[in-house]
Chains A and B, each alone.
Chain A
Amino acid sequence: DQQVKQNSPSLSVQEGRISILNCDYTNSMFDYFLWYKKYPAEGPTFLISISSIKDKNEDGRFTVFLNKSAKHLSLHIVPSQPGDSAVYFCAASATRSGTYKYIFGTGTRLKVLA
């Protein structure tokens, strides 16, 4: 049972435009969400997070939106740059249950075209 889903395996965007990566989850106990970026042959690196008490968190060119009623979050990258080309994973955790375990999605490969 895939509790965190990224239904788009890949996405291509023109440089300078907005990239929107989507993530859906099924477990209503999830209360903390993160996005990680992964380059080939490297481990994932943390990008941005959001708590379930918020619906938006912004950090520079990266904004994460959370829609709890739809159990959906999205990552917006504006403007997109060629260096953003990577695989993006969303992850979720049910921290109020006392677990520090994260469930990751399957990833979306973003390609930013110059």
Chain B
Amino acid sequence: GAGVSQSPSNKVTEKGKDVELRCDPISGHTALYWYRQRLGQGLEFLIYFQGNSAPDKSGLPSDRFSAERTGESVSTLTIQRTQQEDSAVYLCASSLGLARETQYFGPGTRLLVL
């Protein structure tokens, strides 16, 4: 079946604008994760959805960041009033939601804030 898809693949925006990043997980995967990778840095956990449980938002860097997930399908990561330091690759991953399950990553969205 299809893997994790993300859109857009690239996004250039002006400082202060809002952006929405979309993730389509693998069908049947109950868990969905968002990560951020800044240039030259590692994967930074942002937020995690598991089924109908309350999301783990412990990685969101500020209240300008929010994410939603509709059931066990699409997720949207929203960044309000973007800043230049938000420039990064935003990666989404999904898994079956069981302990020790492999996370499957999408190709990422490259965000550049000018």
Contacts and interface: CB of A to CB of B under 8 A. Distances in A.
Nearest to A98: B99
A32 B104 CA distance: 17
Contact of B97 (A51, A100, A102, A105): A100
A100 B50 contact: yes
B93 interface: yes
Interface band, chain A: 20 to 34
Task: Determine the interface band of chain B, counting residues with CB < 8 A from chain A.
Answer: 20 to 34
Interface of A: 6, 32, 34, 36, 41-46, 49, 51, 89, 91, 93, 95, 99-107
Nearest to B58: A101
Contact of B101 (A45, A51, A100, A104): A100
Interface in B68-114: 91, 93, 95, 97-108
Given A6-B42, A41-B107, A101-B33, 5 more contacts: A43-B91, A43-B108, A49-B100, A100-B101, A104-B35
Nearest to B110: A41
Contact of A45 (B44, B97, B105): B105
